[in-house]
Amino acid sequence: MSFLDLEIGLSEEDLAIRDMAHKFAAEVLRPAGQALDRMQDPAEVIAPSSILWDVFKKYHALEFSTLITDDSVDPVKKARLMCLINEELAWGDVGLAITLGLCQFHVPWVRHTQDRDLIARFCNPDAPTIGCWALTEPDHGSDTLMLSEPHFSDPSVKPNCSAHKDGNSYVIRGQKAAWVSNGSIADIAVLFCTVDKSMGLKGGGIFVVPLDLPGVSRPRPLDKLGQRSLNQGEIFFDDVRVPEHYMVLGPNLYTIGLEMMLCHANAGMGQIFVGLARAAYDYALAYAKQRVQGGVPIFEHQNVRSRLFKMFTKVEAARALARRVALYNAGGAPKVQHCIASKVLCTNTAFEVASEAVQIFGGNGMSREYPIEKIFRDARASLIEDGCNEVLSIIGGSKL
Ligand SMILES: Cc1cc2nc3c(=O)[nH]c(=O)nc-3n(C[C@H](O)[C@H](O)[C@H](O)COP(=O)(O)OP(=O)(O)OC[C@H]3O[C@@H](n4cnc5c(N)ncnc54)[C@H](O)[C@@H]3O)c2cc1C
């Protein structure tokens, strides 16, 4: 394994879990991710015969697959382990790391409802379900995240998805954008939608919505440039009726809930994209040691070595921040600016290191016969997902 020998404070158990995650990433995720990436039609990725389901099965057989929702584990230990696991899984395939990471996104929200039937159905580790979070709308991407800006509480900004109270139920009507990760396959959504239109986007509520309810429809999954192993797709709600307690947070606490979600998602993305950056670096280093030009491996040329060293330095720096933020968050309320800093730094690092790796591969970096062009495409999406980096920087800046 590459340059992880600087680890401090890891127990034998931590190292064993990290190695298990690495083995799964190398033997299952990387080949599956490459196969899914090559599928022309995104519907093939989620077809019953797809290798994706084999990935899920093997993942759920691993002892760490329920760690994230296991409240009996010490939060600091859990944070440390999740950093190791997220990095390894994304080293294998970032699209699948996100797919698997989101699987249990709904669990804490469902537990919050205190609905025994819902909890039995969606929080049972022996019968795992697939979750997603649905916030982005066709007309509202960055808008939905920029809590600090005046448009957020402007009632003239009309949502694409809203819920209204009807007796003891809420009735949900509208659409979430094609960007919902796991949107095409999820069993349940954590839905962010407008409840009080007089408050603009600020008047939101956070719901749990089983996606087999009458009125939910999901057309074809999205076709896209990178992270093709991560299925995404829009979700339509045609007067979908849910009991009122399925709304876990209402407008009075919506901005706090949204900010916490943004913090946890951004901190997680930081850890994940360290893994992608390391994969790109690993490939570039290995290639530089075997590609001969001028009679020697290109690694022997000083300029190539110094470029590799820059990549190495960037990955180490990104990892240091991602872990520092994760460990801080384990101790209590996260700090928005630090979580965003981690996402922005780590995804920029992933993109820069992947781009430099393509350069080290020369012409072969462009070829689909080599793995690096896929990693480059996968890295590109990270500058947009979970908030465009420039928009996140405005949000982070508002906290300084
Ligand atoms: C791979 C991937 C996975 C995703 N997963 C999910 C998911 O699971 N669930 C979900 O709900 N969403 C998801 N998204 C959606 C993602 O959060 C949005 O794409 C993102 O918030 C940007 O919104 P947008 O695409 O509508 O772009 P827009 O908001 O239309 O932005 C377009 C451009 O304008 C700039 N811009 C916009 N507003 C401002 C401003 N006020 N100031 C300065 N610049 C601005 C942006 O930086 C960007 O360059 C995902 C996206 C991707 C690519």
Choose among 328, 214, 189: nearest CA to 270. 328
Q: Which of ligand 1's atoms lies nearest the C-alpha of 146?
A: 41
Residue to mutate, 391, 395, 398, ligand 1, most ligand atoms under 8 Å from C-beta:
391
Separation CA 16–CA 22 (nearest Å):
10
In tens, the pLDDT along 317-358 reads 999 999 999 999 999 899 999 999 999 999 999 999 999 999
Choose among 29, 21, 209: nearest CA to 105. 209
So what's the pLDDT on residue 7? 83
> What percent of the chain has pLDDT above 90?
96
Residue to mutate, 182, 235, 386, 395, ligand 1, most ligand atoms under 8 Å from C-beta:
386
Separation CA 347–CA 389 (nearest Å):
9
Say whether pLDDT at 2 is over 90.
Answer: no
So what's the pLDDT on residue 148? 84
Choose among 180, 354, 390, 334: nearest CA to 273. 354
Say whether pLDDT at 3 is over 70.
Answer: no
Mean local confidence (pLDDT), 149-164: 96
Mean local confidence (pLDDT), 276-284: 98
Going by alpha carbons, the residue nearest to atom 20 of ligand 1 is 387
So what's the pLDDT on residue 9? 84
Going by alpha carbons, the residue nearest to atom 34 of ligand 1 is 142
Choose among 360, 278, 288: nearest CA to 313. 278
Query: Cα(391) to centroid of ligand 1, in Å?
Result: 8
> How big is the CA angle at 331 (ends 326 and 334), to the nearest 5 degrees?
60
Separation CA 217–CA 111 (nearest Å):
25
Pairing type for strands 188-194 and 204-210 reads: antiparallel
Choose among 358, 382, 388: nearest CA to 273. 382
Mean local confidence (pLDDT), 86-110: 97
SS3 content of the chain, % helix, strand, coil (to 5): 55, 15, 30
Mean local confidence (pLDDT), 20-42: 98
Query: Cα(109) to centroid of ligand 1, in Å?
Result: 24
- Tokens 């990436």 — which residue? 37
Going by alpha carbons, the residue nearest to atom 53 of ligand 1 is 385
Query: Cα(190) to centroid of ligand 1, in Å?
Result: 18
- Distances in whole angstroms, Cα of residue 172 to Cα of each of 34, 65, 259, 387: 38, 32, 23, 24
Query: Cα(73) to centroid of ligand 1, in Å?
Result: 34
> How big is the CA angle at 212 (ends 94 and 231), to the nearest 5 degrees?
20
Mean pLDDT, all residues of the chain? 96
Query: Cα(167) to centroid of ligand 1, in Å?
Result: 35
Residue to mutate, 104, 136, 148, ligand 1, most ligand atoms under 8 Å from C-beta:
136
Q: What is the DSSP string of 76-144?
A: HHHHHHHHHHHHHHHHH-HHHHHHHHHTTTTHHHHHHHT-HHHHHHHS-TTS---EEEE--BTTBSGGG
Q: What is the 3-state secondary structure (H, E, C) of 10-65?
A: CCHHHHHHHHHHHHHHHHHHHHHHHHHHCCCCHHHHCCCCCHHHHHHHHHHCCHHH
Query: Cα(327) to centroid of ligand 1, in Å?
Result: 27
Separation CA 205–CA 196 (nearest Å):
8
Mean local confidence (pLDDT), 35-59: 98
List CB contacts of 130: < 8 A, sequence separation 6 or more.
Answer: 56, 102, 103, 182, 185, 186, 187, 188
DSSP character at residue 222 = P
Query: Cα(77) to centroid of ligand 1, in Å?
Result: 32
Delineate the domains of the chain, giving CATH numbers in brackets.
12-109 (1.10.540), 130-252 (2.40.110.10), 256-397 (1.20.140.10)
CA 288 to chain centre: 31
In tens, the pLDDT along 228-268 reads 999 999 999 999 999 999 999 999 999 999 999 999 999 99
Considering just the CA atoms, what is the radius of gyration of the chain in Å? 21
pTM: 0.97
Separation CA 13–CA 15 (nearest Å):
5
The dihedrals phi and psi of 293, each to the nearest 5 degrees, come to -140, 145
Going by alpha carbons, the residue nearest to atom 6 of ligand 1 is 180
Tell me which residues have their CB closer than 6 angstroms to ligand 1.
132-136, 141-142, 145-146, 179-181, 227, 381, 384-388, 390-391, 394
